[in-house]
């Protein structure tokens, strides 16, 4: 085992602070990574603040990890020292159940091991994420990062990217579809970029009029302010697909009204109780509400390759590790353009 510097929270109301964690010695199947960058996902805040009531402390968050390989186990042939790699939300799964065999490890029937706050099969206790100097990960959960795009801006692809790419692909969003992306934060801004790249007519649905200009730069054809009831009415029944990234429980009825007959709204944001849905809104148009969580490893690699080919990266604000608590507060206030990425060099100071 080796001791590694990290940043974590000791309780749900504590700030994140520097601490030491253990990383395992590499096994024959493992890849050791020196972390250069780590994105800051709203899930990191939910976990630190115990919003989902399952946090284990200390929480060392971080599941948008980019770094260089420093060592590989003897059975690792697809990675070598110096490779630019990524690690997302999962670091292991059973590899045997139907979901794993179908490359859908995120639905592993025996429970995928999440990058942080999951049972650690090797060391006992729980896993620690990417707000750290290094990480050791099974080779099956390490991703290749295209070298032609800005490495620090690829970090958010590992969670925000795949979480929006996967449902757009699964629900077969295609050229000419009218797609609404609800919430312009880390996930939402990637949803806009991907929907645009797939040829959809993209409408950014936001509570923040001040983000309108940015939304258009990101690839939105239109902006719809969700608080404006008149404008919402004008677009009723017109959307082929909605991607809802709102991070908290909310009233979905106004969004359901936007869907066409037979169309689907996919929830990726609120992993908590939602306000009651009026059955009439669904029954009237044979509409659907569905959910989606990240994506499998194969699809994550496909998304990264797609980003390499289409030159897609995230819009980021770089921060030092020491400024993480302020960054959390700004994310909660919807004040981030559009993902914070931690420069992990700052942890070495």
Binding site for ligand NAP (CB under 6 A): 41-43, 46, 159-160, 163, 183-188, 206-208, 211, 245-248, 250, 268-269, 293-294, 331, 334, 336
Q: Smallest distance, Å, CB 255 to ligand NAP?
A: 10
Are the C-beta atoms of residues 171 and 241 closer than 8 Å to each other? Answer: yes
Give the ranges where 271-323 is alpha helix by DSSP (H).
Answer: 279-283, 297-310
Task: Give the integer Cα–Cα distance in Å for 250 and 267.
Answer: 11
Q: Which residue lies nearer to ligand NAP by CB, 71 or 207? A: 207
Q: How far is the CB of 139 from ligand NAP (least distance, A)?
A: 23
Provide, rounded to whole angstroms, the least separation between the CB of residue 82 and ligand NAP: 30
Nearest C-alpha neighbor of 116 from the set 59, 156, 165, 167: 59
Q: Which among ligand NAP, Zn ion, none contacts residue 118 (Cβ within 5 to 8 A by kind)? A: none
> Residue 178 or residue 211: which is nearer to ligand NAP going by CB?
211
Residue 184 touches which member of Zn ion, ligand NAP, none, C-beta under 5-8 Å by kind: ligand NAP
What distance in Å separates the CA atoms of residue 75 and residue 89, rounded to the nearest whole number? 23
Residues that bind Zn ion (CB under 5 A): 41, 43, 159
- Say which entry of Zn ion, ligand NAP, none residue 188 contacts (CB below 5 to 8 A, set by partner kind): ligand NAP
Residue 69 in tokens: 């390989």
Shortest gap between Cβ of 25 and ligand NAP (angstroms)?
Answer: 31
- Rounded (10°) CA dihedral 3, 5, 11, 14: 160
Residue nearer to ligand NAP on the CB measure, 145 or 192? 192
Residue 250: name its binding partner from ligand NAP, Zn ion, none (Cβ under 5 to 8 Å by kind): ligand NAP
Partner interacting with residue 42 (select from ligand NAP, Zn ion, none; CB below 5-8 Å by kind): ligand NAP
**In the chain, which residue ranges form alpha helices assigned H by DSSP?**
42-48, 98-101, 151-154, 160-170, 186-197, 212-218, 229-234, 253-256, 279-283, 297-310, 324-332
């Amino acid at each position: 085992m080796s001791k590694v510097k990290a940043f974590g929270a000791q309780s749900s109301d504590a700030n994140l602070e520097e601490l030491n964690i253990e990383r395992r010695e590499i096994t024959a199947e493992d890849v050791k990574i020196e972390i250069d960058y780590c994105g800051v996902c709203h899930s990191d805040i939910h976990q630190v603040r115990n919003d989902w009531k399952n946090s284990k402390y200390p929480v060392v968050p971080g599941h948008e990890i980019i770094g260089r390989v420093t060592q590989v186990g003897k059975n690792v042939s697809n990675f070598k020292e110096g490779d630019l790699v990524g690690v997302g939300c999962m670091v292991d799964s059973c590899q045997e159940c139907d979901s794993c065999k179908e490359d859908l490890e995120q639905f592993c029937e025996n429970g995928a091991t999440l990058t942080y706050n999951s049972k650690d099969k090797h060391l006992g206790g729980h896993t620690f994420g990417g707000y750290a100097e290094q990480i050791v990960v099974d080779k099956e959960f390490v991703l290749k990062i295209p070298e032609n795009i800005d490495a620090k801006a690829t970090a958010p692809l590992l969670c925000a990217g795949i979480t929006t790419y996967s449902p757009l692909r699964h629900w077969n969003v295609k050229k000419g579809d009218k797609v609404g992306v609800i919430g312009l934060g880390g996930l939402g801004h990637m949803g806009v970029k991907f929907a645009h790249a797939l040829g959809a007519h993209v409408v950014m649905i936001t509570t923040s009029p001040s983000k309108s200009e940015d939304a258009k730069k990101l690839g939105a054809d239109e902006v719809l302010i969700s608080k404006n009831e008149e404008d919402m009415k004008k677009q009723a029944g017109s959307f082929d697909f909605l991607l809802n990234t709102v991070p908290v429980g909310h009233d979905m009825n106004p969004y359901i009204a936007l869907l066409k007959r037979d169309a689907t709204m996919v929830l990726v944001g609120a992993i908590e109780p939602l306000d009651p849905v009026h059955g009439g809104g669904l029954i009237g148009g044979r509409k659907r509400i569905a959910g989606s969580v990240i994506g499998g490893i194969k699809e994550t690699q496909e998304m990264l390759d797609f980003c390499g080919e289409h030159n897609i990266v995230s819009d980021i604000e770089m921060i030092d590790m020491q400024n993480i608590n302020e960054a959390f507060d700004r994310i909660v206030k919807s004040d981030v353009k559009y993902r914070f990425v931690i420069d992990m060099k700052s942890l070495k100071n």
